[in-house]
């Protein structure tokens, strides 16, 4: 393999020719421009080898000498014969990185199409009242945002001018013992010109990870598990792409009294037996922290439901409110005094109706003629 052929240049090519040829080929075969293409990767390595050898005057003259000696008969068996690998060491990676950066500098901005930033997801814990009435909550989110220093390019802007490391020569000399080595300048990649350096604040990535506290509007009626979208507050886009969105999942604390079902709220309301029997006007708490008056009609049964229109939760879709559904629960009084007991016995005698008729059972003797205190075998299991 002839290194001049690899770069497509004549044997007498100048340093400028070599650099020009390298840049032209690197733009075509660089692995970053051809992701996943193994042939391009192999080709690029050959191009890089050829460039590094020919751009270094010392290595080039050694290579030329070897080439001339070999030329007459045996063609080279392996592509990399005639190279001097020993002079590389740590310089190689530095040079490689710089060349890589050079290609990215020239093509980086157009290399990838713009892509949208990723969406972010976060949970927020809300008190029942906050979710019911709506609130503004400060949510701290860690997101990637475009670096302001380099506006997302990942590179600092530099003035055109000669490379400061090599004074524009494109090569540097170093002395080891009695030997003087000349190698391609790693600062400028042998171009002799200043190049953009990676942006310092973002390390050349073009984005920074930052924590930001964002005021998030919790709409009234937000339900447990509901997601709130905050547009544009996901990760920043790449190469000018739009940012993603932030999704806040609401975790609403349960209320000790109210239970939500859709946009309706449910309340179990204890009612005294005299209120249920005779009817009453009672005050009931409402989910917004206020109160409403409920008319309990005479003869209300335990489990009976009443509906207060539009006293439930607001729909986060259209703002329409659900209902407050109140379920009556009859509470037996704690009968302790003799007078109340006598009144209840009296009540039982006057209202002799069989409440178990619907289930086909008759009046129980123990019920119609209640005993004073326990000890009777037939009361067992009823308490
Ligand atoms: Zn930056
Ligand atoms: Zn330089």
Domain assignment present for 170: no
Residue with tokens 């052929």: 5
| pLDDT at position 155 | 82
For residues 223 and 322, state if they share a domain.
Answer: no
Number of domains within the chain: 4
Could you give the CA distance from residue 22 to residue 47 in angstroms, rounded to a whole number? 7
Which listed ligand is nearest to 195 at the C-alpha? 2
Same domain, 360 and 242: no
Do 259 and 287 sit in the same domain of this protein?
yes
Distance between Cα 146 and ligand 1 center (Å): 8
Whether 246 and 282 share a structural domain = no
Domain presence at residue 61: yes
Tell me, what DSSP letter sits at residue 194? -
189 within 8 A of 98, measured Cβ to Cβ:
yes
Whether 43 and 96 map to the same domain: the answer is: yes
Residue 69 has what pLDDT? 65
pLDDT of residue 130: 94
| 271 plus 317 within the same structural domain | yes
Calculate how far, in angstroms, residue 183's C-alpha sits from the geometric centre of ligand 2: 10
Neighbours of ion ligand 1 (CB under 5 A): 147, 149-150, 199, 202
| Single residue among 252, 283, 313 that ends a domain in this structure | 252
pLDDT at 46: 87
Ligand 2 centroid from CA 169, angstroms: 6
Rounded distance from Cα 172 to ligand 2 centre (Å):
7
Ligand 1 centroid to Cα of residue 106, in Å, is 17
Pseudo-torsion of CA 195, 201, 205, 211, nearest 10°?
-170
Ligand sitting nearest the alpha carbon of 206: 1
* Centroid of ligand 1 to alpha carbon of 145 (angstroms): 10
Report the pLDDT value the prediction gives residue 251, as an integer from 0 to 100.
97
The domain that holds 248 is classified in CATH as: 2.60.260.20
Cα(262) to centroid(ligand 1), Å = 48
* Mean pLDDT in order along the chain per 10 residues (383 residues): 85 89 85 76 86 88 78 41 39 42 44 84 95 95 90 78 84 80 81 80 86 94 96 91 95 96 96 95 95 96 96 93 97 89 91 84 56 47 43
What b/e string do you get for 252-289 counting C-beta neighbours within 10 Å, with b at 16 or more? Answer: beebeebebeebbbbbebebeeebbbeebebebebbbe
Entry pTM: 0.56
């Amino acid at each position: 393999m002839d290194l001049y052929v690899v770069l497509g240049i004549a044997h007498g090519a100048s340093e400028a020719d070599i650099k020009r040829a390298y840049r032209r080929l690197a733009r075509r075969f660089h692995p970053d421009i051809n992701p996943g293409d193994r042939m391009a990767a192999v080709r690029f390595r050959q191009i890089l080898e050829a460039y590094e050898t020919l751009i270094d005057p010392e290595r080039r003259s050694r290579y030329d000498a070897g080439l001339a000696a070999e030329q007459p008969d045996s063609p080279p068996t392996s592509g990399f014969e005639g190279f001097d690998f020993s002079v590389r060491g740590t310089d190689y990676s530095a040079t490689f990185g710089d060349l890589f950066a050079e290609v990215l500098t020239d093509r980086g901005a157009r290399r990838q199409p713009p892509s949208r930033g990723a969406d972010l997801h976060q949970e927020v814990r809300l008190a029942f009242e906050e979710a019911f009435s709506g609130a503004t909550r400060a949510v701290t989110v860690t997101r990637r945002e475009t670096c302001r220093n380099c506006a997302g390019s990942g590179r600092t802007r530099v003035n055109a001018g000669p490379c400061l490391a090599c004074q524009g020569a494109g090569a540097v000399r170093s002395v080891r013992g009695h030997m003087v080595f000349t190698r391609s300048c790693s600062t400028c990649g042998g171009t002799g010109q200043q190049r953009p350096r990676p942006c310092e604040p973002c390390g050349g990535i073009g984005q920074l990870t930052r924590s930001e506290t964002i005021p998030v509007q919790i709409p009234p009626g937000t339900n447990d598990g509901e997601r709130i979208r905050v547009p544009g507050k996901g990760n920043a886009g790449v190469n000018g792409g739009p940012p993603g969105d932030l999704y806040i999942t609401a975790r609403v604390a349960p209320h000790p009294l109210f239970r939500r079902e859709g946009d309706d709220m449910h309340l179990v309301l204890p009612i005294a037996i005299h209120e249920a029997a005779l009817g009453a006007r009672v005050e009931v708490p409402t989910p917004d922290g206020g109160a409403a008056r409920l008319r309990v009609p005479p003869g209300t049964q335990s489990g009976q439901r009443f509906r207060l229109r539009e006293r439930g939760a607001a729909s986060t879709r259209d703002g329409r409110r659900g209902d407050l559904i109140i379920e009556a629960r009859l509470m037996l009084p704690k009968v302790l005094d003799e007078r109340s007991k006598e009144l209840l016995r009296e009540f039982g005698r006057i209202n002799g109706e069989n409440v178990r008729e619907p289930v086909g059972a008759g009046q129980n003797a123990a019920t119609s003629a209640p005993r004073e205190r326990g000890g009777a075998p037939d009361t067992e299991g009823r308490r």
